[in-house]
Chain A
């Protein structure tokens, strides 16, 4: 049971958004900007960063749904995505994406862990300032969401089927307060 009364029939973050209606449109608006802006990072890369940091924080409800969205946006299967999340350095992804995930990994530990070494690596791999900014802000954003969900002990009631369905819905429609 969550630490405070939440409507557990609502999926994922929905029960928290319903609990605090004043903050709900701000959080969904922030999500839509950070996860779906077309400039810079691809939406699939944004979702991958969210899934990866949620895995590092062991927030499995967030990891599972953002993994499902990533798979839909990239046409990946779960196994392929898992190899990236487990050891991105060994995975068959671009040096650019590896450099960004290295920054995300440091951000998960804390802002002061990000050093000019990771930033220089990313810049020499071709990452733009905007891409570096967005990677850090998405990692920071999920450092919040993971803690909000786990701090109130909100458990996921997702099944593999519901994850696939919700993942497809978010991949197609993005994040909105009313959806």
Chain B
């Protein structure tokens, strides 16, 4: 049960942004720009970073939903999502994305541990300023969402299959606040 009254039968972040729309409106705008706006990283890669950080934070709602969105967006390569979550170092992804995931993992624990070496390694594989910026901000932002969603003990869907249509909606429609402004 959530720690505070939230709308029934609505899970995770949606229950919060419906109950608290003043902040919720900005939270959805933030994630829409961050995961769908202009960036050198594809929406599939950005959803993967979001799922990865949520997985490290043990936030099951955010991890399962963003993993589902990332699988949908990776299309016939959807299998890499679970390989990354299991062990990104051995997953069939580019060295650049591996180096960015290392940066994201440092941000999740303690952002002060992102080192010059971590940045230099990412740059040596072709990461530019915006790749680095967006990785750090996505990782930081999901450290917020994960704490918000779990700190208030929001409900989670009953079945893992429920995340599949949720991921498709996130992938195709993006992040639109459920209450029209």
Contact = CB atoms under 8 A, between A and B. Distances in A.
Interface stretch (B71-79, B82-90, B137-145): B137-145
Chain B contact residues: helix, strand, loop or mixed? helix
A144 B140 contact: yes
Chain A contact residues: helix, strand, loop or mixed? helix
A137 B5 CA distance: 15
A137 B103 CA distance: 25
A114 B22 contact: no
A30 B30 CA distance: 9
Top 4 nearest A-B pairs (CB, nearest first) are A111-B150, A147-B140, A151-B111, A144-B144
Interface of B: 3-5, 20, 22-23, 26-27, 29-30, 33-34, 37-38, 57-59, 103, 106-107, 110-112, 114, 116, 119, 129, 132-133, 136-137, 139-141, 143-153
Interface residues on A, range: 35 or more
Interface stretch (A42-50, A64-72, A128-136, A163-171): A128-136
Interface of A: 3-5, 19-20, 22-23, 26-27, 29-30, 33-34, 37, 57-58, 103, 106-107, 110-112, 114, 116, 119, 129, 132-133, 136-137, 139-141, 143-153
B37 A22 contact: yes
B3 A114 contact: yes
B147 A107 contact: yes
Contacts of B133: 4, 19-20, 152
